[in-house]
């Protein structure tokens, strides 16, 4: 514990030094020119998660599977000509997510590590933290609504409260928006984290949803699924895994909502391309076009550079605790980090916000 505490303190100190640099560095990558759209690769790592976001020649890796899958992830990255990762994200301290990350960091130059502040006392976790610390990586502990740019794709991160009793619910949740389309990656978030995300007014609408916790019945509540309203569900899990993932309740829920699913246990590695309002998948050499469901309307306001403001009718100011209509003049003056989004007046009122006297929401 002593060693771990020391490491955590060092990591926190490193993060404080580098956070601003890390975030600004991210903004600079947006200068690259738009080329071949946006791709999400769900790499088959058996029972675990490893997802690669690719846009305009920039890359973000989200998790890297179990320790024995590190080589496989590295090989895959090399096969895709990934010479550098702008970001390596570690969603939470479970080995089916972080296990292979050390191998990746040893093999592929990485600009920034984005991770949760949750910790674990396993040897594998301590060894990874030790390595990150020793090699002086830029470490970013994101705050909710922090935006990272992967080429012209904007990635919003939802950073939950740390609950070390349930590490799944410490999962960083990422919503990547590109060309009016969005994908949502929820790590191993279970229903209670999903509920918190909804309560906090975080925009979850997405065309593609990587289901939480490998399709477990403890994740992907109906309420959450309805809000996300995806046209395609992705499930990362091992063939005949010990946990029975994905659970049959989750599969029947997807059927009920008529959402097609692709899974690594059946389809192996799946590559999803989002371009011109079209979703195409490639798995086992077979290409498919997925028809978009009507509700996943994820228009992005480029003028305000805010991925969320155009989708919520009400925006609150965390400082003044006042909420506004999304077209109120005062929104322009509000800094992004103070914004909180509501779908309706009730939600704003329940969160303790009062209506603006000007726009009278």
Which of 112, 168, 219, 229 is close enough to bind Zn ion by CB under 5 A?
168
Which of 168/298 has CB closer to Zn ion? 168
Size of the chain, expressed as the number of residues it contains: 361
Whole-number Å distance between alpha carbons of 142 and 140? 6
Nearest-approach distance from CB 47 to Zn ion, in angstroms: 8
Angle among Cα 352, 356, 358 to the nearest 5 degrees reads: 175
Minimal distance in Å, beta carbon 193 to Zn ion? 11
Binding to Zn ion (CB under 5 A): which residues in 85-114? 94, 96
168 vs 231, beta carbon nearer Zn ion: 168
Least Å distance between CB 188 and Zn ion?
3
The answer to whether 49 and 97 have CB atoms below 8 angstroms apart is yes
DSSP line for 130-165 = HHHHHTT-EEE-PPTTEEEEETTEEEEEE-PPP-TT
Residue (126 or 343) nearer to Zn ion, CB: 126
Q: Which is nearer to Zn ion, 94 or 263 (CB)?
A: 94
Gyration radius (Cα) of the chain, Å: 20
Rounded CA-CA distance 66/27 in Å is 31
List phi, psi (to 5°) of 155. -115, 115
Closer residue to Zn ion, CB minimum distance, 14 or 50: 50
Please, which residue, 38 or 224, has the CB nearer to Zn ion?
224
Give the helix ranges, DSSP H, for the chain: 2-28, 70-79, 95-98, 101-107, 123-134, 191-199, 222-228, 248-256, 264-267, 330-333, 345-350
User: Residue 167 CB, nearest distance to Zn ion (Å)?
Assistant: 6
**Cβ distance to Zn ion smaller for residue 64 or 328:** 64
Q: Between 188 and 207, whose beta carbon lies closer to Zn ion?
A: 188
Q: Shortest approach of Zn ion to residue 108 CB, angstroms?
A: 22
User: With contacts defined by CB under 5 A, how many residues of the chain interact with Zn ion?
Assistant: 4
With CB under 5 A as the contact rule, which of the stretches 182-190, 281-289, 300-308, 332-340 interacts with Zn ion? 182-190
Q: CB 129 → Zn ion: shortest distance, Å?
A: 17
Distance between CA atoms of residues 28 and 87, nearest Å = 13
Report the residue number, 11 or 118, with the smaller CB distance to Zn ion.
118
**Binding residue for Zn ion (CB under 5 A) from 54, 146, 188, 194?**
188
The neighbouring-strand residues paired with 51 are 42, 62
Q: List b or e across 74-86, with b for residues whose CB sees 16 or more CB atoms inside 10 angstroms.
A: bebbeeeebeebb
How many Å apart are CA 63 and CA 50, to the nearest integer?
Answer: 5
Helix ranges (H only) for 112-247 are 123-134, 191-199, 222-228
Q: Taking every pair of C-alpha atoms in the chain, what is the biggest distance, in angstroms?
A: 59
* Cβ 42 to Zn ion shortest distance, Å: 13
State yes or no: residue 191 binds Zn ion (CB under 5 A).
Answer: no
Task: Give the range of 30-38, 184-192, 236-244, 332-340 binding Zn ion by CB under 5 A.
Answer: 184-192
Binding mask 46-85 for Zn ion (x = CB under 5 A): ----------------------------------------
Give the nearest distance from C-beta 147 to Zn ion in angstroms.
Answer: 25
Distance of CA 328 to the CA centre of its chain: 29
Nearest to 187 by CA among 202, 204, 206, 174: 174
Q: Please report, as ranges, the residues that interact with Zn ion according to CB under 5 A.
A: 94, 96, 168, 188
């Amino acid at each position: 514990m002593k060693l771990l505490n020391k490491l955590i303190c060092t990591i926190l100190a490193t993060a404080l030094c580098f956070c601003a640099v890390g975030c600004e560095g991210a903004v600079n990558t947006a200068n690259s020119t738009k080329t071949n759209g946006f791709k999400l690769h769900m790499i088959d790592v058996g029972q675990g998660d490893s997802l690669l976001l690719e846009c305009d020649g920039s890359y973000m890796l989200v998790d890297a599977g179990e320790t024995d899958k590190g080589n496989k992830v590295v090989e895959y990255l090399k096969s895709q000509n990934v010479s550098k990762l702008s970001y390596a994200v570690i969603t939470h301290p479970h080995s089916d997510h972080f296990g292979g990350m050390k191998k990746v960091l040893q093999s592929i130059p990485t600009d920034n590590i984005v991770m949760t502040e949750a910790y674990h006392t396993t040897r594998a976790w301590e060894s990874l933290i030790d390595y990150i610390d020793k090699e002086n990586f830029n470490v970013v502990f994101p705050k909710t609504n922090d935006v990272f740019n992967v080429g012209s794709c904007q990635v919003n991160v939802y950073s939950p409260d740390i609950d070390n009793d349930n590490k799944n619910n410490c999962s960083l949740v990422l919503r990547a928006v590109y060309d009016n389309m969005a994908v949502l990656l929820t790590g191993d978030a279970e229903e209670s984290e999903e509920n918190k995300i909804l309560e906090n007014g975080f925009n979850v609408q997405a065309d593609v949803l990587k289901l939480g916790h490998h399709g477990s019945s403890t994740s992907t509540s109906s309420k959450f699924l309805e809000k996300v309203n995806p046209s395609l569900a992705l499930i990362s899990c091992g063939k005949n895994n010990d946990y029975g993932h994905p659970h049959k309740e989750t599969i029947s829920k997807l059927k009920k909502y008529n959402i097609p699913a692709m899974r690594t246990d059946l389809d192996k590695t799946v590559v999803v391309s989002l371009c011109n309002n079209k979703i195409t998948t490639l798995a086992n050499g077979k290409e498919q076009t997925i028809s978009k469901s009507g509700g996943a309307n994820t228009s992005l306001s480029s003028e305000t550079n805010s991925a969320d403001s155009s989708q919520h009718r009400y925006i609150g100011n965390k400082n003044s605790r006042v909420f506004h209509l999304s077209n109120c003049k005062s929104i322009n003056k509000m800094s992004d980090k103070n914004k909180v989004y509501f779908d309706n007046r009730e939600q704003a009122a329940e969160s303790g916000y009062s209506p603006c006297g000007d726009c009278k929401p």
